[in-house]
Structure 1
Amino acid sequence: MTTLTRRSALKVFAGTAAVGLLAGCGTGGGSKNADGSVTLRFTWWGNDVRNKQTQQVIDAFQKAHPNIKIQAEPGVWSGYWDKLATQTAANDAPDVIQMDLAYIAEYGGRGALLDLSKQKALDLSAFDSNTLSAGQYNNKLYGVSTGQNALGIFANVKVFQAAGVAIPDDSKWTWDDYIKTAAALAAGASKGGTNYGASYGITDQTLSIWLRQRGEQLYTSDGATGFTVDGVASFMAFQKKLLDAKAAPPASVAQEDVNAAVEQTLAATNKTGMSFWWTNQLGALSKAAGTDFKILRVPSQDGKPQDDGLFYKPSMYWSASSRTKHPEEVATFIDYLVNSTDVAKVITTERGFSTSSKIQDAIKPLLTPTDKSALDFLTQIKPELGQAPAVPPVGSSKVGDALLRRQTDVLFGRADAQAAAAAFKSDADNLIKNAKK
């Protein structure tokens, strides 16, 4: 596994997994024990905080359900999808899978995920139609959302104070204001402040926000790309402006930062003043950095918050392998994860804010100041939000890799923004087109 890239692992999955699943071959996950109990393999990506919380949940579940054993398989984002793709290709996927929006069509569309809507042991009555539709693809429910979150700019309060820079008013700031603020933070490094002013945010989710501000979209509802070369070129040119203004790190550092575990990022080590994160990551990031962060709206082109392109995104999903030998036990475990108030009191907001009113009421007295800060932000931006984007189509899970490759070409000076954007558009179109073959 250590020699596989995400692209090569997904290629293996795309070429062999669906064939094996449709043919009914392979062993699948889960096992039957001598005492009559079953063992379910459970995988997730996360950080130290999430891992500890999840193990507490596993222990409580096993105590309440002695006939179901849970084999924990935690991982980190940078290697998670390589491993899952290879396991799925070998018909050895874990039974219960923490899934992301970018991959739900990739796996569900190729027959690798269980249709949860058909599992009687899973009670979905606490979730509204919008929450459930976020986990649907081709009219099948491949994932139940763990909660909702939104993308924001995390401003490191300590870094701003050390650099002598005021935290900007996010109700009216633009991308030009973002560059000016980042440059001021970087200049303040000599005063004991940050090494870099801001991170780039070279992800397909950040690009999606940028495109939405321009009236474009990353993907259309019929599974195609929905953006122009000029739209992506403007995004790439902006990143280059950050570099030229000495407001963000060199390209080599940026590459490392994108793939680093949360605790090892520039943000978590107090080496950058502003960075892009999801609201549910506030607790882990604050703990790792040992300081407070203020969540700011993403800047807009015109300084109007209603035009900043933000939306509520499912934090992640609980999904299950279609090859599991124990679908009823899997559904029982997922039901426990999404409906138990005991689970909610352990996890609180680490996997996002649940849309279940019962869960919301259960955790309200337990919210930390950090949790309340994230919730306040989500509540504040609600009137400004646009419609959620289309579910990314099959083949799109590798688009983020293509974006990083083309964007770093611009930062390293190997290509200009227009050429890199054209190459990225071709990459994205071909990935989706080839996935349909």
Structure 2
Amino acid sequence: MKHNGNEAMAPIHGRRRVVPVAAGLACVALIAACGSDSGATGGDLPNEGPVTISWYGSDERNAAVQEVVDLFSEENPDVTIETQPTTFDGHWDRLSVQSAANNLPCIPAMQSRYQARYEDRGSLLPLDDLIEDGTIDVSGIPEEILESQRAPDGNLYSIPKGIWYEGALLNVPLIEEEGATPPDPGGTWEDYVDWAIDTQPSISDDRFAISASGGSVTQFQVFAIGRGESLFDDGEAGFSEQTLVDWFDLWMRAVEEGAAPSGEVTAEYQGVPTAQSMMATGRNLVSFTGDNNMPDFQRTLDQLDLGQVSLAPAPTGGPAQVVGANSWAISDNCTNVVDSAALIDFFINSSEGAFILETQTGLPPVSAILEEMLASPDVDESIKDRITLYDDLRESGAVIDVWPDGTQPLITQLSTAWEEVVFGQSTSEDAAAAFMAQVETALSGL
């Protein structure tokens, strides 16, 4: 599933004042001049007590991460590790409480939409000195990917453990079983919706040609990028109000034509795990999500013998995508930085660990491990397709998109705005205006 990587990558603006690579390296050497001087080095690294580590995911994903942690424990029997896996929403709820009490786990999992909250509020330890002295080896991570996670104060607080990007998922075998022709994987959002409306009359009554994505802020971000806009831009909304109106109208057309599930049907699946979603259970033929969700979808589809999902580029009309990262950080209150850093280093650089995870937390950030996966006969072709597309994205200039602090509620707020539209409680115009006001409030810091 490759695409033409020759077009220019549309810019994605988030919280970051992106530090040029040369300036970023200068910050590593002169960290006090670039920001906080609280990073620990050499003999002053705290090394007492157990290493607590917290992360999020589905049951299967959490079990895979636990297996990697156990592998580290086997090789380091003197290190005591206490694990705290949970669901995605549960993780952030718990971290909010722990952060307020200055009691974060030593290694809290971070994510590019959420990490700024903890970086900006002094909850995390700057990692630059640990990187400079080789305690955490990041030499295998492409510099532009690593540097895109650098905070505006010049420090690096989070190191990616898995890269993900938004894309279109097509269940081609199930589409063909329904007697339909798959959509053009290089199409735009409008092309996908047109295809769904044309296809719906020929498929089973309990299935929908396409998922209703009106409430997904990451998918709306992709839509805006396709118009040369962005989600955030230098402290302001990077998209026009009309773009959001058009987004709502696009999905209302799909719902009204019966090609996408109604609000009532979608509500039945609200909050269910990925493995129980409409796409995973064969009720949607095409959906849009982060590529790292593919294993959860496919696991259920295999159990039900309901086809195979394949990945296509996000429908922007070009190569621009939203690229995010699941990351590891070390809390500022951690009392065992030595072993925490060793565990993070192992997680990033262990080839064996990466093969255990099977990209469930995202694609490994280390290029050599990705190359090893591409060469391995034991790695599924769908994973190899994802790696190939990711390589294309990087060559086109894609970097990790980190959201500004305070914008995280927008995830729920856009979903609520869409619900009001699809249930007839608001017009697209009124819902878009209300959401624009919420974006302005979020970015103002109020």
Q: Structure 1 length normalisation: TM-score?
A: 0.83
What do the CA deviations read for 1:319-345 (whole angstroms, capped 9, x no partner)?
222221112221111111111222223
Give the conservation status (yes or no) of the 8 Å contact 1:54–1:347.
yes
- Report whether the alignment pairs 1:133 with 2:147: yes
Distance in 1 between the 2:402 and 2:394 partners? 20
2:223 corresponds to:
210
Change (3 A) 1:320 1:79: same
Question: What is the deviation of 1:354?
Answer: 2.7
Moved more, 43-52 or 425-434: 43-52
1:108 corresponds to:
119
Alignment counterpart, residue 357 of structure 1, candidates 367, 376, 382? 367
Change (3 A) 1:188 1:39: farther
Count of aligned positions: 392
Question: What is the deviation of 1:259?
Answer: 2.7
Distance in 1 between the 2:101 and 2:212 partners? 36
- Report whether the alignment pairs 1:162 with 2:173: no
Give the gaps of 5 or more residues in structure 1.
Answer: 1-21, 25-31
1:326 corresponds to:
336
Matched residue type, 1:326:
N
Matched residue type, 1:434:
G
- Report whether the alignment pairs 1:75 with 2:57: no
Alignment counterpart, residue 69 of structure 2, candidates 51, 58, 61? 58
Alignment counterpart, residue 157 of structure 2, candidates 136, 142, 154? 142
Moved more, 401-410 or 313-322: 313-322
- Report whether the alignment pairs 1:346 with 2:361: no
Distance in 1 between the 2:277 and 2:353 partners? 29
What do the CA deviations read for 1:153-184 (whole angstroms, capped 9, x no partner)?
1112343123211112223x233331233234
Give the conservation status (yes or no) of the 8 Å contact 2:167–2:288.
yes
1:7 corresponds to:
none
Distance in 1 between the 2:60 and 2:263 partners? 30
Give the conservation status (yes or no) of the 8 Å contact 1:152–1:295.
yes
Question: Which structure ranks higher in relative contact order (CA pairs < 8 Å, sequence separation ≥ 6)?
Answer: 2
1:297 corresponds to:
313
Give the conservation status (yes or no) of the 8 Å contact 1:106–1:396.
no
Alignment counterpart, residue 444 of structure 2, candidates 426, 429, 433? 433
1:92 corresponds to:
103
- Report whether the alignment pairs 1:124 with 2:138: yes
Distance in 2 between the 1:369 and 1:360 partners? 13
Change (3 A) 1:78 1:417: same
Change (3 A) 1:200 1:142: farther
1:262 corresponds to:
274
Identity among equivalent positions (%) equals 24
Alignment counterpart, residue 197 of structure 2, candidates 158, 183, 187? 183
Distance in 1 between the 2:71 and 2:397 partners? 39
Q: Tell me the SS of whatever aligns to 2:445.
A: helix
Distance in 2 between the 1:246 and 1:408 partners? 17
Distance in 2 between the 1:389 and 1:258 partners? 28
Alignment counterpart, residue 425 of structure 2, candidates 399, 414, 418? 414
Distance in 1 between the 2:81 and 2:401 partners? 34
Distance in 1 between the 2:401 and 2:309 partners? 30
Give the conservation status (yes or no) of the 8 Å contact 1:283–1:371.
no
Give the gaps of 5 or more residues in structure 2.
Answer: 1-35, 39-45
Change (3 A) 1:188 1:315: farther
Matched residue type, 2:348:
V
Change (3 A) 1:261 1:229: same
Give the conservation status (yes or no) of the 8 Å contact 1:40–1:70.
yes
Change (3 A) 1:108 1:154: same
Q: Tell me the SS of whatever aligns to 1:396.
A: coil
RMSD: 2.5
Change (3 A) 1:188 1:83: farther
Give the conservation status (yes or no) of the 8 Å contact 2:148–2:400.
no
2:247 corresponds to:
235
Moved more, 329-338 or 341-350: 341-350
